[in-house]
Amino acid sequence: QVQLVESGGGLVQPGGSLRLSCVASTSIFSIYTMDWYRQAPGKQRELVARITSGGGTNYADSGKGRFTISRDNAKNTVYLQMNSLTPEDTAVYYCNADPAWAAWGQGTQVTVSS
């Protein structure tokens, strides 16, 4: 089954930026729509951004104008560039395909705090 490995999270001050990466272990990565999700403590997992196989993108209202999703099919990798971060962005961030693969990765923790 496909394995997902997220990285790039960390502790950042409000207003800062982070670039998250997610590598998928599939040779046909390019045909999949890929999503970034996040889950804050005590909250449900929510969709943050989506990129189709053709490069079309969609964002949740929470990330519009601040987040940019991109992909590098040669590296089986999807990215999430996050700018102007606020404490409300603190969460564990995950990626997956749409429809989702069965196995989720471990996620990457993003903490926005001064």
The predicted structure's pLDDT at residue 84: 98
Please give the mean pLDDT across all residues of the chain. 96
Tokens read off for 49: 């951004």
**DSSP codes, 77-98:** EEEEEE-S--GGG-EEEEEEEE
Average pLDDT over residues 91-98: 96
**Contacts of 64 by beta carbon, 8 Å cutoff, 6+ apart:** none
| pLDDT, tens only, 25-76 | 998 999 999 999 999 999 999 999 999 999 999 999 999 999 999 999 999 9
Indicate left, alpha or beta for 10 from its phi (over 0: left) and psi (-120 to 50: alpha).
Answer: left
